[in-house]
Amino acid sequence: MHAIDSDTDALLHLVLAGGAAASRRALLERCGSALAARAAPRALWRELALDTAQIRALEGATGAIPADGLTRARDWLATPGHRLIGWLDPDYPPLLRRIASPPLALFVAGNADLLWHPAVAVVGSRGPTAGGRDNARAFSRALVAAGFGVTSGLAAGVDRAAHEAALEAGGITVAVLGTGPDVPYPESHAGLLARMAAEGAVVSEHPPGTGARREHFPSRNRILAGLSLGTLVIEAATRSGALITARLAAEAGREVFAVPGSIHNPMARGCHRLIRDGAALVETADEVISALGAWAGALRGDLQRRLAAGRNAPSGGRPDPAPPPVEIDPAHHRLWQSLGHDPTTMDQLVERSGLTAAALSSMLLVMELQGRVSVEHGRYSRRTAPFLSEAPSGASQGT
């Protein structure tokens, strides 16, 4: 074990302060580091809408943060292979920044670089049929063979089958927990949790020691969807956590895939509902892989540049990698011409470009990962020099 540094300890206090995350993210952005945020004057905390409980925690008031919780978190972070990745950390996953309510920080056990790897969330019933379990394993094996990671929630049923299949295939898999990073749920998954931390990564926004609480699992699902390029639902009842994950994925502009089943199987009804609502019906992993190929390529490039930069980037700022070469494509050019330096809504981009919202969403994600587009509150704007100085010679201007 080793002592944690002062900025990590300050970030830990920010996390344990609890309450609304938006105000604490704003505080970090204003101050540039967790240490500076904690040392900021009370007037700034008030200005940024921190509540009384949060302020008492930052001031170190007695009882504001339970001493045993702080000690447990410090001890966990002092263990090799454990990290706390905050909002300003260059290693904060770029896809997760795009969701509506990104977490202030992530407790990570294992290889944090895996959070940047192109991945598909494989989710479904805690009590799947034998066929559903087989499908979870088969899709997961095919996804990792194609170079994708598999994310899931370490729950019973489909989640466990997906994680185990990815591990057995020697692929990348990440577990997102609704408990602390050291608390398996169900308890029978303690061995799988340890294996995930050793061979993959385990992620939670909750501090070590946090037990299972009903309200934590829907919020866990937003991180699971946010870390993934797409969400694949294997089997799900009409009321299930898997459908929540799928809805959150769609709201974040990610692809949603559903595997159909028998009309007599109650575990297929959730998938059929998703398909009726616009999810892609898939029968093979190749269909998922094909749909996500362009997004995955952009994210892999981001990861390669991050790894090449090493760990020398200042902890108080976000990475700003140089954009990679871009393939000249008429549709991308039309999108770029439709963008301005002022924030533009998706509806405006649809009207200007003549492209569908689904096509624009895919291209905008690629451009953002390349560092060419920024997004704030659902509005998009150019971030760098022109994407293409002029239309490619002979390129069609049609759809």
| Average pLDDT rounded to a whole number, residues 245-267 | 93
Residue 319 CA: distances (Å) to CA of 87, 307, 313: 12, 11, 7
Query: Which tens digit of pLDDT belongs to each residue from 62-85?
Result: 899 999 999 999 999 999 999 999
Model confidence at 1, pLDDT cuts 50, 70, 90, reads: low
Q: What is the DSSP string of 252-271?
A: TT-EEEE----TT-GGGHHH
What is the spatial distance between Cα 103 and Cα 97, in angstroms, rounded to a whole number?
9
Structural domains of the chain in order of their starting residue, each with its CATH number: 1-80 (no CATH), 112-293 (3.40.50.450), 322-399 (1.10.10.10)
Res. 305 pLDDT band, cuts 50 70 90: low
CA distance 151 to 137: 13
Token representation of residue 353: 């470009």
- Name the pTM for this structure: 0.79
Average pLDDT over the chain, rounded to whole? 86
Sort residue 293 into left (φ over 0), alpha (ψ -120 to 50) or beta.
alpha
Q: Looking at residue 265, what DSSP letter applies?
A: -
- Is the model more confident about 326 or about 34? 34
Task: Give the model confidence (pLDDT) of 81-103 as tens digits.
Answer: 999 999 999 999 989 998 989 99
Per-residue model confidence (pLDDT) at position 248: 93
Which pLDDT belongs to residue 314?
41
The angle at the Cα of 239, spanning 105 to 128, to the nearest 5 degrees, equals: 90
Tokens of 386: 């022109």
Query: What average pLDDT does the segment 108-117 reach?
Result: 95
What is the distance between the alpha carbons of residues 367 and 175, in angstroms, rounded to a whole number?
27
Residue type, 39: A
Please tell me which residue, 347 or 10, carries the higher pLDDT value: 10
The pLDDT value given to residue 130 = 96
pLDDT of residue 350: 87
